[in-house]
Structure 1
Amino acid sequence: MESTSAFYLHVRPDNVAVVTIDVPDEKMNTLKAEFGPQVRAILRQIRDNKALEGVVFISGKPDNFIAGADINMIASCKTAQEAEALARQGQQIMADIHALPIPVVAAINGPCLGGGLELALACHRRVCTDSPKTLLGLPEVQLGLLPGSGGTQRLPRLTGVSTALEMILAGKQLRPRQALKVGLVDDVVPSSILLDAAVALVKKGRGNGRRLPVRERVLAGPLGRALLFKMVTKQTEQKTHGNYPAARRIIDVVRTGLEQGSASGYEAEAKAFGELAMTPQSAALRGIFFASTELKKETGSEAQPRPLRAVGVLGGGLMGGGIAYVTASKGKLPVRIKDINEKGISHALKYSWDLLEKKVRRRHLKATERDSQMALISGSTDYRGFHHRDIVVEAVFEDLALKQKMVQEVEQHAAPHTIFASNTSSLPIGDIAANAARPEQVIGLHYFSPVDKMPLVEVIPHAGTSAETIATTVQLAKKQGKTPIVVADCAGFYVNRILAPYMNEAMRCLMEGESIEHIDDALVKFGFPVGPIQLLDEVGIDVGTKIIPVLEKAYGSRFSAPHDAVAAILKDDRKGRKNGRGFYLYPAKGRKSKKQPDPAIYTLTGVKPVNRLTGAQIAERCVMMMLNEAARCLDEGVVRSPRDGDIGGVFGIGFPPFLGGPFRYMDRLGAGEVVATLQRLTAQYGERFAPCDRLIRMAEERLVFWSELNQKEKIEVKQE
């Protein structure tokens, strides 16, 4: 058993004990329940050795301290009591560390998250490295949980309650300097002297002598605290709309500890942890975490990817600029942009410069790092430098003839092995590759705007794309920090195909007299980050509506939109946020005002807003159209699995994460319930709501999309 130990004790000649954390056969250290006895044994040795002057906890991994607790432990809990017992075990170990009679220091390099930060908080002092990989945070809320090993109690006492609530409620991760500023760490040092600095802190003794900032001291009084909790509760409610129970419990548990003392606080923390672990919201959020972790390991095909050394981008617009930026900054790959004029190139270069400059201002990057990333991006108005590009990403206008011409030019000027990846949102990849000399090297790579923020890409092979091309394209997407899903080559692919009926239904509600803000509020309350009409403004009304005729032609009348209204809006030169004219009013720059719908829309469309439907009825109509289409996509093989469909929904269009994605949500409702709702809506509103064959069959046979057995097996395999 000892050979698989994750904790090693070594006593230095100066009588400082060093406990090294190094989980065998894992790249990242994570805390597992079975480590309990190992830690207890080490703590016993430390207590028994009366000559010791102090203890340092340090990681044996080169680039991480502890990335958190192993989430599989929660997946294996059947009841709230079992999950609560896990939390109590964690709390007890942290309490034992904190109770050691000699100074204990955490020496942190790399991610120190969740249970890792709770261990560091249990130490008497903390020192971290200035590495850009060093991040400290308690991200449990993102899994529908709260910190369960004392984090909700120790952090507020260390940093003050408002800083702690801000960190825990948002799952916010602090960089070294920020951590020092709020008092989370006592010192920030270069990696090379981390252990020496930690030993020096041990010699200084236990107390850090730091007083809380004035703001935190004011908020520590009963009046300040009552005001803070009232404000935070209100803000949290506005943000979560009650969809994330963990947020409310975090506030309650932190408050309990501060008002009724630590013992009650720990009690409340463990109980809340156990109950939250059993909520459908936490199950859904953990499902997304496992699914995206699995996707990161896949290559998209059975072939080996080709090595990637250099990338080309065609088009210096918003998308081209964004693709070049993620290729250089995240992928660390040289990227060359080609545009028809110098203006396009300088525009694309400025796009990257502005994003990097912002990071320098926020001290997330050094100026030298910004310069070296910028040096990876170059541009020209011809194909010079394209002869050794391994992949060229095309981001020009949505025009088939133009894209086919780009394929021929790349085949002429690039290397024989160069892949041509088209960032198209609607054109079939097979058509783009129709005249290609090497069609097996043509593929779709659909990014979402803005490229630097949106995590998803759709990888779209056509019938003739080779397995090697798929694997290489997936590899590029991962290097760019994206989560890729491989989808079939059909109109709208997956994300736009399930998004279009949802947006169309919102437009129909508008034409029936529901007001703009009533529709958007309904979907935000349901859990989407923005409403469908605001989304159309953000994407660009001209872009958003261009895809509808393509889909209508491919799939028929269920994709038809209220064309007259859309035409009237476009004719009035309304493109959305980008030209300051859309469904909403965009005040002059610098003026802060609440987002207001533009009443001129009602005049243009001849609609009188009367709001006959409830928010829940609007949300039901829009979401049901999306769910029905998602089931069709799976049935037709547009997505490879419910997992890919859920990731596409959550990462591509902000489908509410706490519902786990379209397929998990349908499982939660039950196919029978989904079909019954669609049939009722069909009777009310027409054939476009008719449930698809797959759902009818599933309702009859009581089937689910996600078999929990499969999911458990996948997780077990991952563990081995």
Structure 2
Amino acid sequence: MSYLSIEEQENILVVTLDQSDEKVNKLTEELITEFQQLLDQTDPDEIDGIVLISGKENNFIAGADVEMLKNKEAPDEIEDLSQRGNTLLLKLENFPKPVVAAIHGSCMGGGLEVAMACHYRVASEHSKTVLGQPEVKLGLLPGGGGTQRLPRLIGVQNALTYMLTGKNIYPRKAYKLGLVDELTHRDAILTAAKKAVQKINSGNFEREDKRSLAHQLMEGMSPLRKIIYSQARKRAQSNTKGNYPAPDKIIDCVQEGYENGYQAGLRLESKSFGELAATPESNALVNLFFAMQGAKKNPDEEKAKDITKIGVLGAGLMGSGIADVSANNDYRVLLKDQEIEPAAKGKKSIWESLDKKRKKRIISEFERDRIASHVTPTATYDGFENVGLVIEAVFEDLDLKRSIIQEVEQTTPDDYIFASNTSSLPITKIAEAANKPEQVVGMHYFSPVPKMPLLEIITTDQTADWVTATAREVGIQQGKHVIVVNDGPGFYTTRILAPFMNEALMLLEEGISIKELDKHMKQFGFPVGPAALFDEVGIDVAAHITEVLSDLFGERGVNPSRKPTELFEEGYKGRKNKKGFYRYEKKKGKLKKTKPNKEIYQFFGGSGRKSMDAETVQQRMTLAMVNEAAWCLQEDILRNPTDGDLGAVLGLGFPPFLGGPFRYIDREGADTIVQRLEEFEEKHGPRFTPAEILKNYAKAGKKFHSE
């Protein structure tokens, strides 16, 4: 199969990349081989230059084929692959005639490395065009010369910022940095690229150094560059807490290339690429990547009903967020609240979010207005007669949700779907109020909806297959990674979060300080500490969840802490009323968390606090969540371990480098996990009783994942 098609235009070879069996172009061994042959067989004396362009609609090259990396033995075979890629890109870089990359759509990872090896880059200004080096998110580094070319194009400090975070670079920023040489309309990139070939040949192009004067001075002297490397290491350590090995190796490669030469940098890059691919952290992150890819596919797509119009009930933070991700993905939305003012306020927040993108030049003014026009605020059910899906995002009250179903059914078509965005109330009980309970489903979004990548769909014994398929398809179109779980109190994510948060309260009662508790868990790899999370979620919400789950845990002899209810009754709600585990104050118009609220210690035995062993705290907290995940699999709330891993990482911030609860069990060994749980059970009681499935896996020496 040929991935490249070649056409001569105006004495320029226009090379079109198009992997016909894939939705996007990926850097594969076959493509590397075919490209190598093209360069070997092309006589530079017979052409003016080469233009690389994609045959895909919104994609240049999405990056290296991760499946290719997974199928190779690390470190040796991965290092060899990197060396082969570097040989090809050096040949491209040193081709005697101009090679121009015409970029429209995603140009990521290995795709950007191909583009950087070209002599000139022209990119479309379209919102679908995005560049970046996201390899760090897979526990890897750019293995195709990226650690050497990116710093030389945009400067050491700028390059480290993007390589160490994996952040996207949009067209305007890419041009400002000097990563691309020209911006144009998507329909004009081929014409612009061919003109660039002639411009280079005529000697009328000289790349401008767009670094600031301060950057040029610092990066021009070796002693000052050492300060840059040192500061970058400190920032990386602060961000990763030492849990990810890739950032240090990225800095090593940049430093090697600058201090000992380009070729030395490439050699170290290939070696480090292979070494990182062999680490458990990269293995976990790569498996997580495949799980995320799987959650973007609908196995029952053919059963899904076509949805064009969605009704969202409740225009608060969650409802507006759901309307936002729907409108941004071309759904028409009726955003309903009890009065028109809050509904209009909800639409305004969507418009403001779009306008921020417009100001950053991610979208145009026309796109902003077009997307905003998809949302219609309303205080009535007028227009709901042709809505295919209604998503309610009202207060967590069972009777309220039941009454809303009965209201909605008076207007909507017979084949509409009712979805509840509840975080804990059983969908079966909500569906009891419906004329057609088989058309009721849970769609649990996470706050803030536009940023959080997970959607948890909850089905009952009655939910029709086409309803599940449709809800999943809508979630995927909204840009979410979707997991489907079975109904039960708290479903999956809320249920496994509850013991984790409960353990935090137990530790506070034993005397740990808020600051130390949060520090230990962030050091372990959670993005925020549990005390800060209480404030973000809302202590009132935590009290409600405790009530919903109390019977479930009571059946196992577990008595959850009553502290959330006590705190709520005393007026503590967290961030929303600036009264929680932390103090809050407004800075530059935004509410900022400042320092722990020591007054709250009166509910936890007084102000006297004691230091506690970090590992013990981390294990008690983490195993509370991990054990509950196993209970969920045992009780068929979870359909498979992969969804369990994905839900915990994307929904709750379980450390990605550990891969999720079930990958963590496999990594540590089920027998080790059971042993730790039994030790805690002896000290702290039945909340640490290991799930039976864990004991069975420990006895059999089994793993939850086959690879």
TM-score band, normalised by shorter chain: over 0.9
What secondary structure, in the 3-state scheme, does the structure 1 residue paired with 2:320 have? Answer: helix
The residue aligned with 2:661 is 662
| Contact in 2 for aligned 1:549/1:560 (Cα 8 Å) | no
Distance 2:572 2:488 in 1: 29
- What's the TM-score once normalised by structure 1's chain length? 0.95
Q: Which amino acid aligns with 1:215?
A: A
Does structure 2 conserve the Cα–Cα contact (< 8 Å) formed by 1:508 and 1:561? no
CA contact (8 A) 2:58 2:105 kept: yes
**Which of the residues 158, 165, 169 maps onto 1:163?**
158
Report the CA distance between 1:570 and its aligned residue. Answer: 2.0
Q: Note the C-alpha offset of 1:436.
A: 1.6
1:581-617 CA-partner distances (Å, limit 9, x unpaired): 1100102333898731011111344333433421221
Q: Is the CA contact (8 Å cut-off) linking 2:553 and 2:559 kept in structure 1?
A: no
Instruction: Pick one of 362, 366, 382 that aligns with 1:384.
Output: 382
Distance of aligned partners of 1:257 and 1:83 in 2 relative to their CA distance in 1, 3 Å threshold = same
Asked whether the equivalents of residues 308 and 388 of structure 2 are also in contact (C-alpha less than 8 Å), the reply is yes
In structure 1, runs of 5+ residues without a counterpart are 709-720
Question: Is residue 162–residue 219 contact of structure 1 (8 Å, CA) maintained in 2?
Answer: no
- In the TM superposition, what is the alpha-carbon distance from 1:37 to its structure 2 partner? 2.8
Q: CA contact under 8 A between 1:568 and 1:605: conserved in structure 2?
A: no
Whether the 8 Å CA contact 1:6–1:23 is kept in 2: the answer is yes
Q: 1:136 Cα deviation (Å)? A: 1.0
Contact 2:584 2:593 survives alignment (8 Å): no
Structure 2 residue 138 is matched with structure 1 residue 143:
yes
Q: Which residue of 2 aligns with 1:717?
A: none
Query: 1:243 maps to which residue?
Result: 243
Q: Deviations over 1:458-504 (max 9, x none)?
A: 11111111111111111111111111111111000000110000000
CA contact (8 A) 1:504 1:560 kept: no
CA distance in 1, matches of 2:272, 2:453: 31
Cα shift readout 1:647-685 (whole Å, capped 9, x = no counterpart): 101111011111111100110000000001001111121
Asked if residue 54 in structure 1 is aligned to residue 53 in structure 2, the reply is no
Which consecutive unaligned segments of at least 5 residues does structure 2 have?
Answer: none
Q: Distance in 1 between matches of 2:124 and 2:359?
A: 20
Residue identity matched to 2:434: A
Alignment partner of 1:587: what SS?
strand
- Show the counterpart of 1:602: 601
Structure 1 residue 617 and structure 2 residue 616: aligned? yes
- Equivalent-residue separation in structure 2 for 1:568 and 1:402 (angstroms): 24
Partner AA of 1:159 in structure 2: I
- What does residue 11 of structure 1 align with? 8
CA contact (8 A) 1:390 1:418 kept: yes
Distance in structure 1 (CA, Å) of the matches to 2:427 and 2:273: 48
Q: Which residue matches 2:24? A: 28
Residues of 1 paired with 2:604 and 2:173: CA distance?
A: 51
Q: Hey, what does 1:439 align to over in structure 2?
A: 437
Change (3 A) 1:210 1:558: farther
> Where in structure 2 are the equivalents of 1:549-588 lying within 5 Å?
549-556=547-554, 560-563=559-562, 565-588=563-586
Aligned to 1:711: none
Return the letter of the residue paired with 2:7.
H
Partner of 1:713: none
Contact between 1:459 and 1:486, CA under 8 Å: does it hold in 2?
yes
Match of 1:504? 502
Give the distance between the partners of 1:607 and 1:227, measured in 2 at CA.
46
Displacement of 1:558 after TM fit? 5.7
- Alpha-carbon offset, residue 372 of structure 1: 1.3
Match of 2:208 among 207, 210, 222: 210
SS at match of 2:50: strand
Q: In the alignment, residue 571 of structure 1 is paired with which amino acid? A: E
Q: Distance in 2 between matches of 1:644 and 1:70?
A: 23
Runs of 4 or more, structure 1, over 6 Å off, are 591-594
Shift of the 396–36 alpha-carbon distance from structure 1 to 2, 3 Å rule, reads closer
- Whether the 8 Å contact between 1:338 and 1:382 is mirrored in structure 2 is yes
User: How far 1:568 sits from its partner (Å)?
Assistant: 4.0
Partner letter of residue 184 of structure 1? Answer: L
Q: TM-score, normalised by structure 2?
A: 0.97
Distance 2:557 2:259 in 1: 57
Counterpart of 2:674, as a letter, is V
Q: Show the counterpart of 2:226.
A: 226
Question: 2:489 & 2:693 partners in 1: Cα distance?
Answer: 20
* Contact 2:60 2:107 (8 Å CA) reproduced: yes
Asked whether the 8 Å contact 1:512–1:607 carries over to 2, the reply is: no
Change (3 A) 1:95 1:50: same
CA deviations over 1:349-387 (Å, ceiling 9, x no partner): 122122112212222221221111111111222211111
Letter in 1 for 2:473: Q
Taking the aligned partners of 1:685 and 1:612, their CA distance within structure 2 comes to 19
Identity rate, percent: 44
Amino acid at match of 1:8: S
Q: Does 2:58 match 1:63?
A: yes
Matched, 1:75 2:70: yes
What amino acid is aligned across from residue 675 of structure 1 in structure 2?
A: V
Question: 8 Å contact 1:145–1:246 — kept in the other structure?
Answer: yes
Question: Which residue of structure 1 aligns with residue 477 of structure 2?
Answer: 479
- Report the count of equivalent residues: 700
Partners of 1:129 and 1:682 in 2: CA distance: 60
Counterpart Cα distance in 2 of 1:45 and 1:639: 55
Q: Secondary structure at the match of 1:514?
A: coil
Alignment correspondent of 2:307:
308
Output the amino acid matched with 1:533. A
